[in-house]
Amino acid sequence: MTISPTSEPLGQRVLDFLGGPDIAYRLVAVALLCAALAMASGNFLTEGNLLNVLRQASLLFLIASGLTVVLIAGGIDLSVGANLGLSACLAGLTLKATGSIPLAFVVGIGTGTCAGLLNGMLVSFMRVPPFIATYGMLWVLTGLTYLVMHGDAIAGFPSAFRFIGSGYLAGIPVPVYLMVAFLITGGLFARMTTYGQQTYAIGANPEAALLSGVPVRSRQILVYTMSGAMAGLAALVFLARVNSAEGDIGETLTLPAITAALIGGTSLFGGVGTLTGTLIGALMMTLVINGMNLLSVDTNWQPFVMGVMVVLAVLVDRLSHRR
């Protein structure tokens, strides 16, 4: 993996790495949202609540980060939730059967990676439209999860395993450290490597990228495989957090992941997006849901609010694309 040379000033490179000027506006929106919640509820600024917000946002970011790279490349991965569900269940069953945490990690991340690779093969070599390929994979993975679990649930994992989802280091939840690590790694990949720049080029115009010598098919396989691997990692963290697994564990996670990416400025049309933006989108979504819980808003409104956020994000994306 080669680092692309640049003659831009350091300040400009840092701004580009973070996602450009639009990130500042989104950070202002987060600050205003926090101020509003602090005024509406005295429990918002408590240490326990803020750490919980960070933990939940980091989990959502891990799920959405790989999906963001796929969107930047002009694709979409509707199977991330189902992939997480199957990976979590297989990892949980492995851990229960063998007691081996390393083996559970291999099974969880390996399952997610294989599912992502299959998505990439369908899109790149079989020329199946990404929406159809990943939507079909969603049902395949969901069916496999139910077959594996037989309607049962498993719970009660070792404390050493649960540490990655529920533990703390220096008072900070462990998933937050994972989030920061992959934010930096993913940002370096997307903004400062040839592979990352080619991903943006493919999303902006795949035909022009192909004529410029970019190996479009292999890069498509790469981004879908990355999305699958991140779903597998997120499955392990999610499993360690909830301490249980059943057939429907990942069914509700795809929409929030897509929403976080869109709110963060990633375009459905490809070629635009950053992991920093996705983190901000995940934080905004977590803050909204946290605020609804603190204000005792009926939980039945949460899917409605999430749907409105998706529609608004897509409308903003479409208007920006037209300009």
Instruction: Give residue-wise pLDDT tens across range 56-89.
Output: 999 999 999 999 999 999 999 999 999 999 999 9
Instruction: Give residue-wise pLDDT tens across range 255-288.
Output: 889 989 998 889 888 888 899 999 999 999 999 9
How would you label 167-178 residue by residue, b for 16+ Cβ within 10 Å and e otherwise?
Answer: beeeeebbbbbb
pLDDT of residue 251: 83
Of the candidates 77, 106, 4, 98, the one whose C-alpha atom is nearest the C-alpha of residue 270 is 77
Contact predicate 199/218, CB 8 Å: no
Q: Write down the residue that tokens 């799920």 correspond to.
A: 63
User: What residue type is 171 in one-letter code?
Assistant: G
Q: Mention every residue, 6+ apart, whose C-beta is less than 8 A from residue 207.
A: none
d(CA 85, CA 26): 31
Sequence spans of domains, the chain: 47-316
Contact predicate 60/260, CB 8 Å: yes
Helix, coil or strand: residue 218? helix
For the whole model, what pTM was predicted? Answer: 0.89
Helices (H), the chain: 10-18, 22-40, 47-72, 80-98, 101-124, 130-149, 159-166, 174-192, 194-204, 206-211, 216-242, 254-263, 275-294, 301-322
Instruction: Give residue-wise pLDDT tens across range 90-107.
Output: 999 999 999 999 999 999
Q: Where residue 140 falls among pLDDT bands split at 50, 70, 90? A: very high
Q: How many CB atoms lie within 10 A of CB 184?
A: 12
CATH architecture, domain defined by 47-316: Orthogonal Bundle (1.10)
d(CA 312, CA 306): 10
